[in-house]
Every structure is written in structure tokens, then in C-alpha cells.
Structure 1
Amino acid sequence: MTNIQNAADLGRAIRARRLELGLQQTELAMQSGVSTPTVSAIENGKETARVGLVLQLCRDLGIQLSVGT
């Protein structure tokens, strides 16, 4: 279980899982319907309005995000 506290943690978890699955950023982007630069930004912990807002709401509500394998 990975404890997600911020956008950087989320990005690292996403990158780790993508690599575990043997996917390139372009492949994940195509599967997810987002652009490759968006995948890159998320993996690099850039706080987009959506990601940052979700994380802030979770922190405010005391919700702890985790990634299960």
C-alpha cells in the first residue's frame, strides 16, 4: 500500500504502476484518452487544477488515498 499525500506521491505511484505494467507514457495516454504531456505532467507531480483539487479535498476530508496491487 502506498500512502498518497500530495501530487508528487500520486505521480510516483502512477509512474511505478505504469512501469510495472511495461507501458510507455504514450501507450498509457492512448488507453486513458489523455495526451502524453498530461501523463508526463501528472507523473512529475505537477498540480493541475483537477488533481490538486481532488488531493486538497481528500486532505480536508481526512480521506487517505492508497494504491493497491
Structure 2
Amino acid sequence: ELFGHVRGAFTDARSERIGRFELAHQGTLFLDEIANLSLASQASLLHVLEEGVVERVGVRSRL
């Protein structure tokens, strides 16, 4: 939900979905209970915060 995905990125990805980061572009995104995220999700979140780069699931281009 945070990153979004493209059609066909995984089995149930029937259409493209914009993630919360894109929806909040130039705005505020409140993240609560980050400690409850999986370690992989925490690493992805850290990458976004450090690099300012969001990548949808299933695509290599940066947003």
C-alpha cells in the first residue's frame, strides 16, 4: 500500500495502484507503529527516507 504496484507485478495485481507515497507527494504522510512493519518493509521505508526515491512493486523506474 505504501509503494503501489503495476499490473502484473504479482498474481492478484490486475491493475495499477498508486501508493500512499505518491498520493502524499509534496504533502504529509503520517506513519504510525513503524516497528510493526516487517524488516523488509522497514528497509524499503528507510530507502525512501534516505534517498527520496519511491519504486512501485514490479517496475524499476523511479518516481
Q: Give the TM-score normalised by the residue count of structure 1.
A: 0.30
Higher helix share: 1
Q: Give the TM-score normalised by the residue count of structure 2.
A: 0.31
Higher relative contact order (CA 8 A, sep 6+): 1
